[in-house]
Amino acid sequence: MSKKDIQFLIGLTRKCGEAICDAGTFEERNSQYLVMKWKYQGNEFVHKFPGLTKTTTVNYQYHQLRKNLRANGMGPPNEFSMDFKSSAEQQKLLEELWVYLGTDEEGQTPYGGEVDRG
């Protein structure tokens, strides 16, 4: 995984998490991994990003993040349109993260994976 890809993904996830989390629940820990945790509507979200000495594929990180988001009720825009209780800004940030993540084998994202990751 390129350092640029992981840093961009971490930044997007952090920005989205800080905006969408239940008040006072966002936290990050750095050890062997960078772990982001927060609660959204009482459900705990946890994602581990590889540390400096760890490597992982881009696709694996995207898959795990999509899985973790869905497990906590933060699926792609077509899945949360009626159930997602947040401000327009929060919806925009979550959609931005999903656009970047693209599609996966579950075929749940409407973007078809045609996002230019520059």
Handedness of CA 46, 73, 38, 18 (dihedral sign): positive
In a domain, 112, yes or no: no
Q: Is pLDDT at 10 greater than 80 in this prediction?
A: yes
Strand ordering across the sheet containing 33-40: 27-30, 33-40, 43-50
Choice between 118 and 96, residue whose per-residue pLDDT is larger? 96
In a domain, 74, yes or no: yes
In a domain, 61, yes or no: yes
Number of domains in the chain: 1
117 SS3 class: coil
In a domain, 115, yes or no: no
In a domain, 58, yes or no: yes
Residue whose token pair is 């696709």: 59
Range name among 2-16, 27-41, 101-115 with the lowest pLDDT average: 101-115
- Average pLDDT value over all residues in the chain: 78
Domain coverage including residue 45: 3-101
Tokens of 68: 């973790």
pLDDT 10s digits, 38-90: 998 899 999 998 865 555 667 788 888 999 998 888 888 765 544 555 678 88
pLDDT at site 115: 39
Handedness of CA 112, 113, 117, 118 (dihedral sign): negative
In a domain, 66, yes or no: yes
In a domain, 67, yes or no: yes
Indicate the pTM of the whole model.
Answer: 0.74
| Res. 31 pLDDT band, cuts 50 70 90 | confident
Q: Are 69 and 25 in contact (CB under 8 A)?
A: no
